[in-house]
């Protein structure tokens, strides 16, 4: 049975749909898979609709066996990443494949071949599309539960397919699970006697904390990611958000942000820190089979009130304000408001760089349990 690799036209929405639907071939019988929203993924992959393509070029490939789609991959070059990190790097992402090394090898051949033709000397992946985007890294531990919103999922055999092609570990990304049960509430009750005075001390030094204002969400998201860009600029793989990308993210968060779980810390009039906890809407998406219309939108809206999980998606403190009280103020109020209602049963803290020891220690102190590991691989061309 011959394997054929076909490049698709990213300006053709029908072709992009075929690329997306490869997932259904791979995961149809997997109870932990969360189908993506097809129309949202089309927007994400389209150079005309996603502002990331202002500094990125991508190629998409589908593998066919006897004219049946059995795998896919994208290869992309990010000029902003290469300029910032002084590399000639390329990336692969959106990798899906049946358990067939011939198919995976041909997909990687096409992806790395194109990247090499564009001058790439190193390939990282899987990365969809960069560290700012969803689904970064390959799941290597924690296959027994569905991913939370924005996190990736894959069969265990992907590890063998990727490593067989010569990819080696570049960095592990960690996910911690915090169960918001009675035992955790009792722990927080004891901890409050320590955190509350620290929070009050920070306020006496001019720090204050407030909820995100949903009526000004576009401006608030811009403020949040200005802090993020400052806080993360020296981290591994970091890439600053452009204004257009920030606006794109604001649009996607608009329907799900809970103001009490999106905090901004200010010092005087300057925003200096933020924390963003979002509901795990994968609990809803799991049952929509990739389609929001015509009836999925009703399921989504009604389902939001029933979601009982959270993800601490992002947290950042400007470099000049770390360990000066903004962190205590932020942690205390996020934790207090997350527990105010007994609706939520868990919170995933993800993802954390494996060598971000300060945040890892804080997460483990807060009873977080390492339960999933995602790996970004690297190969020199």
pLDDT tens for 276-330 read 999 999 999 999 999 887 666 767 777 888 999 999 988 888 888 877 778 878 8
Answer whether 3's CB lies under 8 Å from 65's CB. yes
Where residue 169 falls among pLDDT bands split at 50, 70, 90?
very high
Q: Which two tokens stand for residue 8?
A: 């698709």
In which domain, by residue range, is 327 found? 181-344
- Secondary structure class of 272 (helix, strand, coil): strand
Beta strands in the chain (DSSP E): 3-8, 56-65, 68-78, 89-97, 122-125, 138-141, 168-179, 207-211, 262-267, 270-279, 309-317, 346-353, 369-380
In the chain, pLDDT over 90 holds for what percent of residues? Answer: 61
Q: Are residues 65 and 9 in the same domain?
A: yes
Dihedrals phi, psi of 194, to nearest 5 degrees: -95, -40
Q: Are residues 233 and 187 in the same domain?
A: yes
Position 162 scores a pLDDT of 98
Q: Are residues 219 and 291 in the same domain?
A: yes
Q: Are residues 196 and 307 in the same domain?
A: yes
Q: Are residues 313 and 168 in the same domain?
A: no
Out of 122, 143, 174, a domain closes at 174
- Domain assignment of residue 241, yes or no: yes
Whether 335 has a pLDDT exceeding 90, the answer reads no
Domain count of the fold of the chain: 2
Q: How far apart are CA 183 and CA 320, in angstroms?
A: 36
Strand duo 89-97 + 122-125: pairing: parallel
Q: How far apart are CA 156 and CA 161, in angstroms?
A: 10
CATH of the domain at 67: 3.40.630.30
Buried b (16+ CB within 10 A) or exposed e, 198-222: ebeebeeeebebebbeeeebeebbb
- Domain assignment of residue 362, yes or no: no
- pTM, full prediction: 0.93
Angular region, 210: left φ>0, alpha ψ -120 to 50, beta rest? beta
- Domain assignment of residue 100, yes or no: yes
**Residue 224 or residue 357, greater confidence:** 357
Radius of gyration of the chain (CA): 21
- Domain assignment of residue 359, yes or no: no
- Domain assignment of residue 373, yes or no: no
Q: Are residues 323 and 249 in the same domain?
A: yes
Q: Are residues 204 and 282 in the same domain?
A: yes
Q: Are residues 62 and 199 in the same domain?
A: no
Position 286 scores a pLDDT of 93
Answer whether 265's CB lies under 8 Å from 330's CB. yes
Position 211 scores a pLDDT of 92
Q: Are residues 271 and 129 in the same domain?
A: no
Angle at 144 between CA 95 and CA 154, to 5 degrees: 0
Position 58 scores a pLDDT of 97
Q: Are residues 292 and 225 in the same domain?
A: yes
Q: How far apart are CA 20 and CA 337, in angstroms?
A: 38
């Amino acid at each position: 049975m011959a394997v054929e690799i076909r490049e698709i036209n990213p300006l053709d929405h029908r072709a992009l749909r075929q690329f997306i639907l490869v997932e259904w071939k791979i995961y149809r019988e997997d109870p932990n898979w969360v189908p993506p929203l097809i129309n949202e993924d089309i927007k994400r992959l389209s150079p005309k609709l996603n502002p990331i393509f202002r500094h990125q070029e991508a190629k998409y490939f589908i593998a066919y066996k006897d004219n049946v789609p059995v795998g896919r991959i994208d290869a992309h070059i990010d000029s902003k990443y290469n300029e910032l990190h002084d590399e000639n790097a390329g990336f692969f992402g959106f990798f899906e494949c049946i358990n067939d090394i011939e198919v995976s090898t041909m997909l990687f051949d096409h992806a790395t071949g194109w990247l090499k033709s564009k001058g790439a000397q190193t390939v990282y992946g899987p990365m969809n599309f960069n560290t700012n985007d969803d689904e970064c890294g390959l799941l290597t531990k924690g296959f027994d539960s569905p991913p939370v919103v924005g996190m990736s999922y894959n069969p265990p055999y992907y590890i063998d397919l990727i490593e067989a092609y010569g990819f080696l570990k570049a960095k592990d990304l960690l996910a911690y699970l915090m169960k918001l049960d009675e035992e955790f509430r009792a722990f927080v009750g004891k901890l409050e006697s320590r955190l509350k005075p620290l929070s009050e001390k920070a306020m006496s030094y001019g720090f204050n904390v407030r909820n995100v204002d949903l009526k000004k969400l576009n401006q608030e998201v811009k403020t949040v990611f200005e802090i993020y860009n400052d806080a993360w600029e020296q981290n591994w793989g970091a890439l600053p958000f452009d204004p257009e990308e920030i606006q794109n993210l604001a649009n996607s968060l608009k329907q799900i942000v809970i103001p009490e779980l999106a905090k901004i810390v200010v010092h005087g009039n300057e925003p200096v820190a933020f924390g963003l906890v979002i509901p795990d809407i994968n609990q809803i998406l799991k049952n929509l089979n990739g389609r929001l219309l015509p009836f999925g939108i009703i399921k989504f809206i009604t389902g939001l009130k029933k979601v009982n999980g959270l993800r601490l998606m992002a947290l950042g403190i400007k470099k000049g304000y770390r360990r000066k009280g903004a962190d205590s103020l932020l942690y205390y109020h996020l934790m207090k408001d997350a527990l105010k209602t007994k609706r939520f049963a868990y919170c995933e803290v993800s993802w954390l760089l494996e060598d971000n020891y300060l945040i890892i220690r804080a997460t483990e102190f807060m009873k977080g349990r390492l339960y999933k590991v995602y790996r970004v691989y690297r190969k020199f061309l």
